[in-house]
Structure 1
Amino acid sequence: MSESGHQPSGDPKPFHVETRIAAPPADVWPALTEPEHVRRWFGWDYDGIEPEIRLIFVDEPKHEDGRRVVWSDGSYLEIEADGPHCVVRAVLPGDLTDARWDDVYDGIEEGWRAFLVQLRHLLETRPEGRRRTLFLTGTVTGRELRAAVGDGAPVHEADRQFALVDPHGHLVVAASQARLAEDRAATASVTVSTYGLDDDAFAAVRERWASRWRPAAPDAAVTSGSEPVPPGLF
């Protein structure tokens, strides 16, 4: 995960992001620690995702008691049982009430917010087959982003992002560096997660999204597989 937040000082912005998942901790833990499971929800497809997953989730952190994944900077992923459900938190400890962070965009915080939505979708819907993603990027307003994504069953809403399941059953997570309510164009992305599609079916999904996304943004890009993502995004 790259950090492209606009920090007011050299200090990292603290964050606390969590989601409630209809699955027991015993099902969630492998999804946070075993690369073959992490691969089915984390990030999006690009050349280098496999070694990045191993570095982030296996080689760098400490695994504590089937409950926490802890990194050297003090940040951690935590599972808390909640009856038949559990809560998964991504946390970087710090003073969240500090006013200097009020208007700060932080790519790591927003990344975890999106990735936990993808984790919840995987564990609750149990899709079969290989995960393949589309990653759309461009500069749009919040209104343009919503219009380009279209309709679906909403599953997540935050200041800078939203998610839905589209009419074809694919999870769509849309994020912007600007608050969605602001009337200004900003760098945005859309991650479309598909499962179990063959090459022809996936190509049809890509064409459908490309025809929708390219008119929305003057610098629109659509990438999948090992295609390089445009530089300088997040």
Structure 2
Amino acid sequence: MTQARQLKPYDVEISVAAGRDEVWESVTQPALLHQWFGWDYDGLAAEIKQIFLDEATLLAPEQMGWADGSYLEVTGDDDSARVRVTREGNSPGGSERYDAIEEGWRAFLIQLRFLLDQRPEGRRRTLYLTGETTGRQALTLASGEWERFGPRVAWTVDGDGHLIVAAGRVPLDEPTATHFEVTVSMFGADDATFEAARETWAKRWAPMAAGAEITTATDPAPGS
């Protein structure tokens, strides 16, 4: 309990156009988790197993929890549902303090909603872009309207139908350059299409981000 109280509290929630039972399967079955959780790297399967199978505890129907006091729950009916991830705590710093787990859930729940609302066909493959840039620059990566999910996370769908989620360590409107993570999710892409997309995104990302890197399924996590 002491550990949980020292952590920053958060409460992240989205609605999805899918029934409660289908959503619960999407947050508990490894094959479906691969379609939305995180981003591809050589340890993703092990990470999913650790978080959702080894460490999660079933607290109630459609609710799972973890040792840090956080929990995920799915509510709704046969036509629509809400997914909520919350953690109690009273650490100093206020609600605006950056918390990597909170912002990760914001990004990942956007990816879950895209999967269930848009129902793209084929296996998801991702490009995970990291580096230091500003929010203003990051949001020029793709044309179109970006939607915000909290002060640090935004998403859009590009002309090719790929979901793009950008997340920074400071609010997007601040002029400060900071560490950014951009996940490009594409579905059903063959190897040639995926490689062409990787080259295109590398050319976009490198000029705007210091220490620019791109991680794919065969790479270790950045900084590991």
Give the TM-score normalised by structure 1: 0.88
Alpha-carbon separation, structure 2, partners of 1:82 and 1:56: 26
Unaligned stretches of 5+ in structure 1?
A: 1-9
| Deviation by residue 1:116-170 (Cα, 9 ceiling, x = unmatched) | 00000111111111111000011001111112x2213545442111001111000
Match of 1:121 among 114, 123, 126: 114
Alpha-carbon separation, structure 1, partners of 2:176 and 2:200: 26
In structure 2, do the counterparts of structure 1 residues 118 and 204 end up closer, same or farther at CA, with 3 Å as the change threshold?
Answer: same
In structure 2, do the counterparts of structure 1 residues 70 and 204 end up closer, same or farther at CA, with 3 Å as the change threshold?
Answer: same
Q: Note if contact 2:125-2:185 (Cα within 8 Å) is conserved in structure 1.
A: yes
What are the residue-to-residue correspondences of 1:13-32 with 2, within 5 Å?
A: 13-32=8-27
Q: Match of 2:51?
A: 56
In structure 2, do the counterparts of structure 1 residues 11 and 64 end up closer, same or farther at CA, with 3 Å as the change threshold?
Answer: closer
SS in 2 for 1:101: coil
SS in 2 for 1:220: strand
Unaligned stretches of 5+ in structure 2?
A: none
Alpha-carbon separation, structure 2, partners of 1:161 and 1:181: 11
Percent identical residues: 45
Alpha-carbon separation, structure 1, partners of 2:119 and 2:59: 26
Does 1:111 find its partner at 2:123?
no
Does 1:77 find its partner at 2:72?
yes
Q: CA deviation at 1:84?
A: 2.5
Q: Match of 2:195?
A: 203
Alpha-carbon separation, structure 2, partners of 1:170 and 1:116: 16
Does 1:137 find its partner at 2:130?
yes
Alpha-carbon separation, structure 2, partners of 1:85 and 1:200: 37
Does 1:47 find its partner at 2:57?
no
Q: CA deviation at 1:65?
A: 4.3
The RMSD of aligned alpha carbons is 1.8
SS in 1 for 2:6: coil
Q: Match of 2:211?
A: 219
Alpha-carbon separation, structure 2, partners of 1:29 and 1:21: 12
SS in 2 for 1:43: coil
Consecutive aligned runs of 4 or more in structure 1 exceeding 2 Å deviation: 63-66, 152-158
Alpha-carbon separation, structure 2, partners of 1:87 and 1:157: 15
What are the residue-to-residue correspondences of 1:79-94 with 2, within 5 Å?
A: 79-81=74-76, 84-94=79-89
Alpha-carbon separation, structure 2, partners of 1:27 and 1:216: 40
Alpha-carbon separation, structure 2, partners of 1:141 and 1:221: 16
| Deviation by residue 1:17-62 (Cα, 9 ceiling, x = unmatched) | 0001111101101111110111110000111110110111112112
Q: Note if contact 1:213-1:220 (Cα within 8 Å) is conserved in structure 2.
A: yes
Q: Note if contact 1:165-1:172 (Cα within 8 Å) is conserved in structure 2.
A: yes
Alignment length (residue pairs): 220
Amino acid across the alignment from 1:183: P
Q: Note if contact 2:126-2:216 (Cα within 8 Å) is conserved in structure 1.
A: yes
